Structure 1
Amino acid sequence: MRIIVPMAGRGSRLRPHTLTIPKPLIPVAGKPIVQRLVEDITKVCGEPVEEIAFIIGDFGDQVEKDLKAVAEGLGAKGSIYYQDEALGTAHAILCAKESLDGKVVVAFADTLFKADFTLDTNADGIIWVNRVEDPRAFGVVQLDEEGTIKEFVEKPEEFVSDLAIIGIYFFQDGKNLSNELQYLIDNDIKDRGEYQLTNALENMKNKGLQFKTGKVIEWLDCGNKNATVHSNQRVLEFEKDLDKIDASATIENSVIIQPSMVLAGAKITNSVIGPHVTIGKDSVIENSIISNSIIQNDAVVKEANFTNSMIGNKATYQGSKKDLSVGDFNEIND
């Protein structure tokens, strides 16, 4: 089994956090998004993963080392491929053509999921889907009476289905997928100006391959700040039975409301943290009230009172102290 992870996008909707780090390496509940993604896929594969191939942009040597370490931590070989130009999902996957061999899972690295099943690797292909209220922004599938996919539609203007493709796919034969992707490129077959994976899937279906759907308990998007903070909240809920306060963290005159996470070397003083907060390594929090937020590594936050927020690595937030005298029956909203 191989896992292919296209992740070359710029992550513009998550700026400014993605100006210095690729979006898939943004931490959610203390781990990079892409690490959580491949760990979750490995759990449901039902067989060993021999290679994890990452398709990236010009992210630098350290990012490449970090990604290879993620693969090695799961007992797999880490491979790096490059996508120099954003030409669509089909083009992105084909950048890892050398690794499209045998059983393959393709997973785009801006999504997390919770599932309780083992992947049926006897199928020609499995497409993970989730019901959505507005399917116009997604590729969707239509099913026949037996639950087999009968049509793939990319971002339909008119309603055809509310089963959205979440960006995770299994293929019994990676070479077959590779050939179909190459056919799109060679014949310049585009949809909305890009080479789309859904076109390749439709061609494969028309040649007799049967695709089933894999359903998830919960699908978590990490495309923008609000979605990433929400994903942090949900992952902390999933793992609520774990001890999430590192032994090396310092907690002084403070309350940590679970589920929250405090990583190694963090120092929290005179504060109320949580619920649903992740405090990164070696960050300092003083005199603050913080809920439903992500504080990354080496950050300093003082005199703060906020929620639904992200504070980046080595960032500093300094609020303001107030000396107040408020009389009876008054109400102040600040």
Structure 2
Amino acid sequence: MIVRSGRPACTCARRASFIAVSTASEPLEQRNTRLSFIGDSECSLSVSTSVISVENGSKLLYDSSVVTCLAIASAISLLPEIGIIVGDTRREIMSAVGDGAQFGVRVTYIPQDQPLGLAHCVLIAHEFLGDEDFVMYLGDNMLEQGLEGFVNEFESARAKGGAAAPTAQILLCHVDDPRQFGVAEVTKEGHVKRLVEKPKDPPSDLALVGVYLFDKTINEAVRAIKPSKRGELEITDAIQWLIEQGKTVRHEVLRGWWIDTGKKDPLLECNRLVLEVLEPRNEGSVDASSQIEGRVVIMKGAKIVNSRVRGPVVIG
């Protein structure tokens, strides 16, 4: 996802853009600044064959192959315009999201016909994004931490101006085995010195989470880089280009849990964590002989008869 984060003088709500990018050939994209995520809201996660939905009064969306999430629900009032980059599973996403009216937003779909890389997503989204700042969010991530502070720190640093004003900011996380990840080498001033993909000798234990914040300079970077060996325009190459051009790239270290939900076991762990923050509610019916314990959500139309239900669980 890419979220536009620039704050023009006009008072309209389009202060940022957001693109959610799946790791298959389909990304997502949203517009406007302050984005909060799952850690700020109660949610339940249920798995289906094609779309995994999160119930939060509104829905967060997931594509089953890469669990692409559209973080609308917790940012509904701050993201009035959403652009979604869609690929192979566009039908499922378009069916689930529609025109965005159910979320109180306006949705525009941007097709990516082939998985040509995350930097390519920036290229094809340029007409939508313009030259404003934006957040790119890889949609197979689930974070406990909201992103409002991440955006605010970037804006604050840019507001100070000067040669050290950042052109980009990336979210990092301490990991046990950084050899399995893209890793950042950082300076004591909090700047990113270089990025290394799955290094044998990691320069740090700071892995790239897949959340990035850019100003318009990234548009020059994605045009300057060449495709990688796998034939894709890599966003890490574009960030490295910024660094080599003397631009400042900041980082923030993630607070709370981070799960890459592209695989079954992490997805189930994510399901458990999300269920743990459920607020119990009953929109269905429970007969007098039934007992409900713990964090249980009973959806509209569900009936509990002569049963004992122990949470965390969602029924419906």
Which secondary structure does the structure 1 equivalent of 2:202 belong to?
A: coil
* 2:249 alignment counterpart: 211
Q: What is the TM-score with the length of structure 2 in the denominator?
A: 0.70
Q: What is the TM-score with the length of structure 1 in the denominator?
A: 0.66
Task: Output the amino acid matched with 1:275.
Answer: G
Residue by residue over 1:206-228, the C-alpha shift from the partner in whole angstroms, topping out at 9 and shown as x without a partner, is 22221222223221332223222
1:163 positional shift: 1.0
How far apart are the structure 2 equivalents of 1:144 and 1:129? Answer: 14
* 2:41 alignment counterpart: none
> In structure 2, do the counterparts of structure 1 residues 197 and 274 end up closer, same or farther at CA, with 3 Å as the change threshold?
farther
* 2:262 alignment counterpart: 223
> In structure 2, do the counterparts of structure 1 residues 157 and 264 end up closer, same or farther at CA, with 3 Å as the change threshold?
farther
Asked if 1:3 corresponds to 2:9, the answer is no
> In structure 2, do the counterparts of structure 1 residues 189 and 7 end up closer, same or farther at CA, with 3 Å as the change threshold?
closer
Task: Output the amino acid matched with 2:127.
Answer: E
> In structure 2, do the counterparts of structure 1 residues 278 and 149 end up closer, same or farther at CA, with 3 Å as the change threshold?
same
> In structure 2, do the counterparts of structure 1 residues 132 and 272 end up closer, same or farther at CA, with 3 Å as the change threshold?
farther
> In structure 2, do the counterparts of structure 1 residues 258 and 178 end up closer, same or farther at CA, with 3 Å as the change threshold?
farther
> In structure 2, do the counterparts of structure 1 residues 9 and 159 end up closer, same or farther at CA, with 3 Å as the change threshold?
same
How far apart are the structure 2 equivalents of 1:168 and 1:57? Answer: 20
1:27 positional shift: 2.1
| Aligned mate of 2:170, from 127, 137, 140 | 127
Asked if 1:179 corresponds to 2:216, the answer is no
> In structure 2, do the counterparts of structure 1 residues 147 and 53 end up closer, same or farther at CA, with 3 Å as the change threshold?
same
Checking the alignment, whether the CA contact within 8 Å between 2:284 and 2:303 is kept in structure 1 is no
How far apart are the structure 2 equivalents of 1:10 and 1:202? Answer: 23
Structure possessing the higher radius of gyration over alpha carbons: 1
Highest RCO, 1 vs 2 (Cα 8 Å, sep ≥ 6): 2
Checking the alignment, whether the CA contact within 8 Å between 1:100 and 1:178 is kept in structure 2 is no
1:147 positional shift: 1.2
* 2:85 alignment counterpart: 55
Asked if 1:261 corresponds to 2:302, the answer is no
> In structure 2, do the counterparts of structure 1 residues 276 and 269 end up closer, same or farther at CA, with 3 Å as the change threshold?
same
1:124 positional shift: 2.4
1:265 positional shift: 1.5
Alignment of 1:125-164 (within 5 A): 125-164=168-207
* 1:275 alignment counterpart: 311
Residue by residue over 1:153-205, the C-alpha shift from the partner in whole angstroms, topping out at 9 and shown as x without a partner, is 122232222111111111122xx223322333xxx430555321100000012
1:83 positional shift: 1.9
Task: Output the amino acid matched with 2:251.
Answer: T
1:84 positional shift: 1.9
How far apart are the structure 2 equivalents of 1:271 and 1:182? Answer: 61
Asked if 1:38 corresponds to 2:71, the answer is yes
Which secondary structure does the structure 1 equivalent of 2:251 belong to?
A: strand
> In structure 2, do the counterparts of structure 1 residues 162 and 69 end up closer, same or farther at CA, with 3 Å as the change threshold?
farther
Moved over 6 A (4+): none
* 1:26 alignment counterpart: 52
Checking the alignment, whether the CA contact within 8 Å between 2:137 and 2:210 is kept in structure 1 is yes
CA RMSD of aligned residues (A): 3.1
Residue by residue over 1:257-283, the C-alpha shift from the partner in whole angstroms, topping out at 9 and shown as x without a partner, is 32233322223334443433233x3xx
Checking the alignment, whether the CA contact within 8 Å between 2:141 and 2:258 is kept in structure 1 is yes
How far apart are the structure 2 equivalents of 1:105 and 1:41? Answer: 16
> In structure 2, do the counterparts of structure 1 residues 53 and 60 end up closer, same or farther at CA, with 3 Å as the change threshold?
closer
1:80 positional shift: 1.0
